[in-house]
Structure 1
């Protein structure tokens, strides 16, 4: 019978009770660890000793500007890998948007993991390519798109990542959306209301629920 233990991680609320340690041929441990909503996974400027995989929940990565404003560069959802850095320090911080379970991998083992686990290597490469793609799209969005276009792009992206269904239950707040899109929260609310009046979306009573009524109209704005 395999030995059971729990991985203790300094930023985690608690380890998964009785989690089974999975030891692969490359001798690293990936025990799913729970984080509570609002909890810090790692801080901007902290040592980049680990990278992470989202098993469930949502994590945001962001930077604080000198004047205190926050820029959210990405939302990481189920299956996403994040926390890779070119330097020894994290250039962004990571916080949990909703209760999340993460796998925590040692950065020092990355080269060995890539060399000895072809499937994992493919996932890492795919994650990095998606990150580059999203960063390029985000740069274009912030630099050239109007508020209406930014919201349309965001809704279509979240629809593709969360579900292909028309009903979206967004895990992030409107404040998070604003800080991701480079808008004020008032502009986000006003733009969503504008799209609802045009019949493009519907805003149920729950503030984080959005129904996409006209994807074609959204795609025209996203073009």
Structure 2
């Protein structure tokens, strides 16, 4: 059974992962879900909204590790502490599943163990791709790669971007000025349109995927 949560937690209308029935916690924009270095007692699933996971570098700069959207899991750690912090990018609802209970279930049900293994491998692959992108790709390739990734994950070429330009910069390892300038250049080239700051349309997905590769 999941432990009772504070009064700010409300029951979720959807079934919890792996058959658990549990409550969900609503978070306001920019509210912290858990902090870097805190004990990793729970695994989380985004029910609605969006989450960024990030860490603070030694020089005080922020590095965003990943963006998470509805259906995604996060907070799954190999050790006992969270390596990153998690923050809501929008009004967000997340489900908390006790890590100990999930481990017990994985020991009893091989299909749960396989899902956890797949999630771990997928997270590792995305981390490796992120490191490769930061080390090898130009600013233009990084921005295009993020847009293509968002399109692939959300299933459409019209993107309602939950992250700010600063979020994008901190994920891509660029300055906010470089991100804004690159988006303007892509719009000038006719491969994207930016009707509003948080809405981007991929007008030429084939060209963009070629640029990102």
The TM-score normalised by the length of structure 1 is 0.86
Asked whether the 8 Å contact 2:90–2:162 carries over to 1, the reply is: yes
Q: How far apart, CA to CA, are the structure 2 residues paired with 1:25 and 1:157?
A: 27
Partner of 2:168: 177
Deviations 1:134-183 (A, max 9, x none): 111101100000000001110000001112x2211111111100000000
Deviation, 1:116, is 3.4
Q: How far apart, CA to CA, are the structure 1 residues paired with 2:91 and 2:37?
A: 24
Partner of 1:190: 181
Partner of 2:5: 8
Partner of 1:35: 27
Asked whether the 8 Å contact 2:5–2:23 carries over to 1, the reply is: no
Deviation, 1:19, is 5.2
Pair 1:199–1:122, CA change in 2 (3 A): same
Task: Give unpaired runs (5+ residues) of structure 2.
Answer: none
Asked whether the 8 Å contact 2:134–2:172 carries over to 1, the reply is: yes
Asked whether the 8 Å contact 1:71–1:179 carries over to 2, the reply is: yes
Q: How far apart, CA to CA, are the structure 2 residues paired with 1:136 and 1:153?
A: 14
What's the C-alpha RMSD, in Å, of the aligned pairs?
A: 2.5
Asked whether the 8 Å contact 2:12–2:22 carries over to 1, the reply is: no
Partner of 2:82: 90
Task: Give unpaired runs (5+ residues) of structure 1.
Answer: 1-5
Q: How many residues align?
A: 211
Structure 1 position 216 matched with structure 2 position 206: yes
Pair 1:121–1:182, CA change in 2 (3 A): same
Q: How far apart, CA to CA, are the structure 2 residues paired with 1:121 and 1:96?
A: 28
Deviations 1:29-83 (A, max 9, x none): 5222211111111100111111111111111110001222100010111111111
Structure 1 segment 60-79 matched on structure 2, within 5 A? 60-79=52-71
The TM-score normalised by the length of structure 2 is 0.90
Partner of 1:160: 152
